[in-house]
Chains A and B, each alone.
Chain A
Amino acid sequence: QKEVEQNSGPLSVPEGAIASLNCTYSDRGSQSFFWYRQYSGKSPELIMSIYSNGDKEDGRFTAQLNKASQYVSLLIRDSQPSDSATYLCAVRRGASGSARQLTFGSGTQLTVLP
């Protein structure tokens, strides 16, 4: 079992719809969770971080965390063609030493259709 799993997609949604991206992780002791967006040929860009159960909203993005189910998701409201990218889920176990390392999922490719 991979430590961080994402559906590879591709996921296609029409412009204006809600895109839902999901991620599960295997280490129950994980403490910090991140979503990165990566455009083709570019580096990963941090868009959301979440540390406690519940929802965290930032503009059109909402991150949701459920530690009991070991599940984190990213919702993109009013999707735009410019949101078309690969979205990477990343998980960190702790805040010191090797636990500070991020473990990445393989990414979900999102296409927003005009």
Chain B
Amino acid sequence: NAGVTQTPKFQVLKTGQSMTLQCAQDMNHNSMYWYRQDPGMGLRLIYYSASEGTTDKGEVPNGYNVSRLNKREFSLRLESAAPSQTSVYFCAGTGTVTHEQYFGPGTRLTVT
């Protein structure tokens, strides 16, 4: 039982490049989330998926897209990376019974 997994762990992009951050969970979570964490800004919600087949914008969605591929997988795509997207990205999942949210290990992204 791996919980919530994310790949890659680290990534360096040049401005304008694109990439997809992958997230998978084996905890049978219905809801999944993507956050970014920046110094002094705390955790900010980018997008979330309340259930398979649905996605909604969070607090800071601009410059990102998401796909809820199936119940297990929720990916975050940067179409044209910008230095302002340099951050640590966390994926999380929430169960339907306890509603407790569990985080993946994170992806540290640098855009130069």
Given the complex of chains A and B, what is the CA–CA distance between A36 and B90 in angstroms?
14
Tally inter-chain residue pairs, CB-CB below 8 A: 47
Q: How far is the CB of B11 from chain A (nearest CB, A)?
A: 16
Also in contact, A43 and B101, with CB within 8 A (given A101-B45, A104-B43, A105-B42):
no
What's the nearest-Cβ distance from chain A to residue B44, in Å?
Answer: 8
Q: Chain A: how many interface residues by the 8 Å CB criterion?
A: 23
Residue interface bits B78-112, CB-to-A below 8 A is 1, else 0 = 00000000000010001000111111111000000
Cβ-based interface call for A80 (8 A): no
Q: A95 to B103, Cβ gap below 8 A?
A: no
Residues of B within 8 Å of A101, CB to CB, are 33, 45, 48, 58
Q: Which residue of A lies closest to B96 (CB)?
A: A95
By the criterion CB–CB under 8 Å, are B43 and A95 in contact?
no
CB pair A104 B56 closer than 8 Å: no
List 5 additional A-B contacts (Cβ < 8 Å) besides A44-B90, A46-B102: A49-B100, A100-B31, A101-B58, A102-B33, A102-B101
Closest 3 CB pairs of A and B: A106-B42, A43-B103, A104-B43
Can you list 24 A-B pairs, Cβ within 8 angstroms, ordered by A? A42-B105, A43-B90, A43-B104, A43-B105, A43-B106, A44-B90, A46-B100, A46-B102, A49-B98, A49-B100, A90-B101, A95-B99, A96-B50, A100-B31, A100-B94, A100-B99, A101-B58, A102-B45, A104-B42, A104-B43, A105-B42, A106-B40, A106-B41, A107-B42
